[in-house]
Amino acid sequence: MSAQVELTNPVDLSVGGMRGHVFRRSIHVGMAIVPWAYFSHGEAVADAVSLSLPQLVAALMLALLCAEAIRLRLGITIFGQRDYEATQLSALMWGSISLGFVFLLVPDEAYAWPLVLSLALGDPLMGEMRRKGWNDRKVMMAATGFLIIIWLLCSWQFGTPMWMAFVLAPIAMISEWPRLTYIDDNATMLLIPLAFILMFEPFAQIM
């Protein structure tokens, strides 16, 4: 069972200190290119290995789970990870698997782009605001505004229903908030809004 844990300074827990923290944040922001890679090159890569695109996504998810199992068996952490990840699923793994579910369940630019950008850009923004000493109310207001902008831009660029910006951006912000022991916010920030999209899709009829 996952209980709330105390909020700590991520730099203090990162392997590599500040450099490890910056590397971790860079990987997080780098997730923003995943939708581009999926929609621009996914089919070509899948064809090259004789798989369908959903099969390729599922195969990568399974491979990552196997690699994570080996890492946990050895009890190691890599540069940028946090000390406690030596004994539990890493934030990177939670984020990667959750990304996989996005592309398996809502493989459309109207949904994938705002979901992934909310995680890739919104999560580190909230983390850095807290690290700088912003109070909870300011973090929530600033992050919600930032995420609404992301969803509105995706509405303009990819046809995401505009009303979703004002529903799912706050949900994404709230989904980052719980500090759970074993479930990372990389998962909650994707999977909770994803669940709402699956409920909204019969009405939106994007796919």
Q: Which residues contact 70 (CB under 8 A, 6 or more apart)?
A: none
SS3 category, 180: strand
pLDDT tens string 37-46: 999 999 999 9
Split at pLDDT 50, 70, 90, the class of 9 is low
> Could you give the C-alpha distances from 170 to 101, 144, 158, 164, in angstroms and in order?
21, 6, 20, 10
Q: 27: closest CA among 97, 104, 94, 80?
A: 80
Residues paired with residue 189 on neighbouring β-strands, in sequence order: none
Report the share of the chain in percent with pLDDT over 90. Answer: 66
Mean pLDDT for the chain overall: 89
Q: Are 22 and 131 in contact (CB under 8 A)?
A: no
The phi and psi torsions of 4 (rounded to 5 degrees) equal -65, 140
> Could you give the C-alpha distances from 76 to 69, 79, 83, 191, 207, in angstroms and in order?
11, 10, 9, 27, 41
pLDDT tens string 145-202: 999 999 999 999 999 999 999 999 999 999 988 777 778 889 999 999 999 999 999 9
Q: Residue for token digits 């064809």?
A: 47
| Region for residue 90 given its phi and psi (left: phi exceeds 0; alpha: psi -120 to 50; beta: otherwise) | beta
Count other Cβ atoms within 10 Å, centred on residue 45.
14
Tokens standing for residue 177:
């908030």
Whole-prediction pTM:
0.89
> Which 8-state DSSP code applies to residue 121?
I
**Cα–Cα distance, 5 to 185 (Å, whole number):** 12
Tokens standing for residue 90:
């890493």
Q: 5: closest CA among 131, 133, 183, 190?
A: 183
